[in-house]
Structure 1
Amino acid sequence: MTEAPEPGVPNGRAPARNRPGTPCRVSLMAHGMAAAQAFYGELFGWEFQPGPSRLDPCVRALLNGREVGGIGQLPPGRRLPVAWTPYLASDDVDLTAETVRLCGGTIGVGPLDAGGIGRLTIGSDPWGAVFGLLRARPHPGAETTGLPGTPVWHELLTYETAGVATFYSRLFGYERKPDGSAGVDRVTLHLDGRPVAAVHGVGRALPHDRGSHWMTYFEVTDTDEATERLVALGGRVLTPARNTARGRMAIVADPEGARFALIQGSR
């Protein structure tokens, strides 16, 4: 199991969510959509509403009436890893999708118009990490951030950072700031001088069953209490709760194996 990286969660300094290159949405593709709703509803207090018919079957996840993300169902018989996927904002999804292809990535879904969500596409970088692109349609009550139960940070776990960080910088013009710690291969991606995500090279410690993948960090009020509740709901703790420079965090997985992080005190 890969040692959990130090999260670079910004303390209230994230750029506006519609700035191109900023994470603006998360979604989970699960085999059992009803079971996933029950799990995350109990863990984070989410409620659910039907999602866009173009992406059916799927639901929107809401917290206090505001959208947090979405949950969709994987096609029957497809043995794909269950995972959380971040979407990066784009002013022109079609153009950015073409840039993904030109830079060695792939596009697997879209671009397409997804009802009230906006125009989106899903692809992967040249090292196989899946991510989405989204030109969101603003609507009242959307985009809650920074509260318990919401995503507050995203980190790409990969073999090494050099090529991967270059790929994403070509898409969005990120400024890359290396971690100053000796022996740590980690780069924080900045826009307008502010951190928006990170790339962490873990070498041979990269999980063989996952390969390169994005990790989403969710804010919680109490990491220890949240991990206990997660286990009671059928989830697993992969890296126990510990104190970091950015808050108390744990790496966990839901009952189907989707990995994510819980972090307390990121703000």
Structure 2
Amino acid sequence: MTEAATRHTPGTPCWTSLMVHSLSATQDFYHALFDWEFAPGPQQLGAYVRALRDGRPVAGLGELPPERQLPVSWLTYLSSNDADETAEMIRACGGTVAVGPLDADEAGRMLIAADPEGAVFGVWQEDEHAAQRQTGAPGTPVWHELTARESGAVAKFYQMVFGYEPGAAESTPSPDPGRRTLHLAGRPVCAIRSVGRALPRDRGAHWMTHFAVADVDEAVRRVAELGGRVVEPPSDGPTGRAALVMDREGAAFTVVRAAGT
């Protein structure tokens, strides 16, 4: 469950970002949890910083305008060779485009959209800096998963827009029959998990970012100490040891054991 360290194939999760009400407090939380440092990022949508591990970007943090009292959540971006063309495909396939496409300084071109079930995601038309991102190590995003009521129809949407390979998810038996893995060029890149009526009413369909950590149990203890919340305690599952947590502002994310730790 690691992201490619080279320029991403269109449809591959390539970035994750979080818009919050207090940027400084959120920086303190993730610095203490993941040892992130920060550098200024594109400012088109307001104050924004890039989180760095060993000098390489791993995620983005932005600040919401004071008048926008919205719930916060991590946003998964899917790679595109042409954000404008992808925006048209999203609309044609039953999704909506809420922001953009627009240029994000030298970083590329982006948009924010929602699929037919209402799950919000981003699209990023990357530049050559994609290869400089830090991936796979503790403190970096290593997997992205869509939680939806029913995976069939929404999977068709993503297959039509991004070209995920039809039938790849069913080629081998899955230890979790509710999870449909999406492939590109024969490689698993993300997944859709069908939960039916168990879908949280306060969140609806949503993308989830999984961050690698050296020790899941220690990371969960650290989240609680820093003022976050443990939603699902550590457990061993089909993809290894993991836990679902929230930061101080209620943004949910999963921590998973990093490969080789």
Cα distance in structure 2, aligned partners of 1:51 and 1:144: 16
Q: Does 1:191 align with 2:181?
A: no
* Counterpart pick for 1:263 among 246, 252, 256: 256
TM-score by length of 1: 0.91
Q: 1:67-82 residue pairs with structure 2 within 5 A?
A: 67-82=57-72
Q: Structure 1 residue 41 and structure 2 residue 34: aligned?
A: no
1:162 alignment counterpart:
152
Counterpart Cα distance in 1 of 2:102 and 2:121? 15
1:92-241 aligned at under 5 Å gives the runs 92-139=82-129, 142-175=132-165, 176-178=168-170, 180=173, 184-241=177-234
Measured in 1, the distance between the counterparts of 2:225 and 2:86 equals 42
Q: CA deviation at 1:15?
A: 8.2
- 2:56/2:134 contact within 8 Å kept: yes
Q: Distance in 1 between matches of 2:93 and 2:134?
A: 32
AA of the residue aligned to 2:28: A
Range with greater deviation from structure 2 (138-147 or 219-228): 138-147
Q: C-alpha displacement at 1:16, in angstroms?
A: 4.4
Following TM superposition, by how much is the alpha carbon of 1:141 offset from its aligned partner in structure 2, in angstroms? 7.6
Letter in 2 for 1:193: G
Contact kept in structure 2, 1:81 and 1:210, CA below 8 Å: no
Q: 1:19 aligns with which of 9, 31, 41?
A: 9
Cα distance, 1:261 vs. partner?
0.3
The answer for the alignment partner of 1:54 in structure 2 is 44
Task: Say whether the 8 Å CA contact 2:246–2:253 is kept in structure 1.
Answer: yes
Aligned with 2:44: secondary structure?
helix
- Return 5+ residue gaps in structure 2 as ranges: none
1:212-260: CA deviation from partner (whole Å, max 9, x where unpaired): 0001000000001111111100111111101123321101111111110
Structure 1 pair 23/160, CA: closer, same or farther in 2 (3 Å)? Answer: same
Counterpart-to-counterpart distance in 1, 2:164 and 2:106: 28
**AA in 1 matched with 2:129:** H
SS at 1:139's partner residue? helix
What TM-score, normalized by structure 2, do the two folds share? Answer: 0.93
Structure 1 position 78, deviation (Å): 2.1
Aligned-residue sequence identity (percent) comes to: 53
Tell me, in whole angstroms, the C-alpha distance in 2 between the residues paired with 1:79 and 1:204: 27
SS at match of 1:166: helix
**How big is the alpha-carbon RMSD for the aligned residues of Structure 1 and Structure 2?**
1.9
Distance in 2 between residues matched to 1:32 and 1:136, nearest whole Å: 28
